[in-house]
Amino acid sequence: MRAWMFNGPGIPLELVELPDPSPGPHEVLVDVAAAGLCHTDVGFMEGTLQGVLGFTPIILGHEAAGVVSAIGDSVSGVTIGDRVAISAMGNGKSGVIGQKNIGVGRHGAYAEKTVSPASELIPLPDEVPFDQAAAATDAGMTCYHAVFARGGLRPGMRVGVIGLGGLGMTAARLAVLGGAEVYAAEINEQVHEAALERGVKHVVNDVRELAPYDLELIADFAGFGTTTAGAIEVIADGGRVVQVGLGQAESTINTQLLTLKQLDLLGSLGGTPEDTVEVINFLASGTSGSRPSRWDSTKFPQVWTSSSAARPKVNDSWPRSGRELRAGRLRLRRSAPIRKPVAERVRKPRTNADHERHRWTD
């Protein structure tokens, strides 16, 4: 098989020919149909996150979807030809950045094939494209976890989103689909229209301009200190601020307001395989919005060069992660994923009415 090998920071990925991997017990082989280029991968390539990797050289790529092409011993519930995504969080027990996770602690998806524990497979409905599924395993999961799991979003809630990069735009759209009344703050006015097209009620330049809307939940995907402080100033009494972005490591906030308004200030990092399943359910409903940016895998060096030079520029596709660019579909051969415990929770596509009726009782 062909694969892009990471040999160390500052060194271009190397296109190599390797023997096709074989699945061991409890494992399956997945023909990769789409893989995402995440800002974490950029950190590996630039050397800022080098210590996180389990080993080098390594095949990166922790956002993956494809088709099951071989099955190892002691695997049940999986069939060759199954469409699947691979959980970026492993089985959910290894932490946010686990040393056994795909593309971090074992070879990843920047290849024609990758081996995965069957327990990490998430079945894909036919309605969900591979590229969207790959992005759902990290960008989508992170956003869902922030606004639903940590934020406690409920239908009818007044929700604010700070920062409309890839993650923020994705979170805003998911909040709209979840039945919330969504407002946003973003200094880049070029993306305001895209947010409005995705159902956001109103977009401003500074979160403090959202004070009149009496927001119950604000998710800060920027994290530049002033954004966090502004969220605490404008959120309604008893509200919740969820910190996702880390634009700077430290910030000053008004602890008097935090106390007098009885606010919750929570951090959110990554998510769980269950969060990914919920995002895939949204995708299956056909209401997610636009599509990820896509590149042929043979153009990876050009993609990496252009994306590195352009950051933090963001295009208007959904879903992308904050400065993340979705490296698109690997145009190799037809692939298909497989099913696994976590995947069993994937439901048939729902209508918007179904979401409102069932989302909070599952």
Query: What are the CA-CA distances from residue 33 to residues 69, 76, 85, 86, 296 (Å)?
Result: 12, 23, 10, 12, 11
What was the pLDDT predicted at 50? 79
In DSSP notation, 273-331 reads: HHHHHHHHHHHHTT-S-S------GGGHHHHHHHHHHHTT---S-SS--TT-B---B--
**Joined tokens for residue 127:** 């309605």
Neighbours of 128 (CB within 10 A): 25
Predicted local confidence at residue 349, as pLDDT:
43
Q: Both tokens of residue 157? A: 């809630």
For position 286, what pLDDT does the model report?
77
> What pLDDT sits at residue 16?
96
For the beta carbon of residue 294, count every other beta carbon within 10 angstroms.
16
User: Start-end ranges of CATH 3.90.180.10 in the chain?
Assistant: 2-136+271-353
**What's the token pair of residue 119?**
């327990």
Class for the domain spanning 152-267: alpha beta
Q: What pLDDT is attached to residue 39?
A: 83
Give CATH 3.40.50.720 domain extents, the chain.
152-267
Mean pLDDT of successive 10-residue stretches along the chain, which has 362 residues: 95 95 98 92 88 92 97 97 96 67 95 97 96 95 97 98 95 96 97 97 98 98 96 98 92 96 96 95 78 61 50 32 31 31 45 37 29
C-alpha 165/C-alpha 184 separation (Å) is 11
Q: Tokens 């096709």 appear where?
A: 20
Contact at 8 Å (CB) between 170 and 318?
yes
Residue 177 burial (CB < 10 Å; 0-12/13-18/19+)?
A: buried
DSSP reduced 3-state for 85: strand
Residue type at position 204: V
- What is the residue whose two structure tokens read 């922030």? 146
Q: Which fold has domain 2-136+271-353?
A: Quinone Oxidoreductase; Chain A, domain 1 (3.90.180)
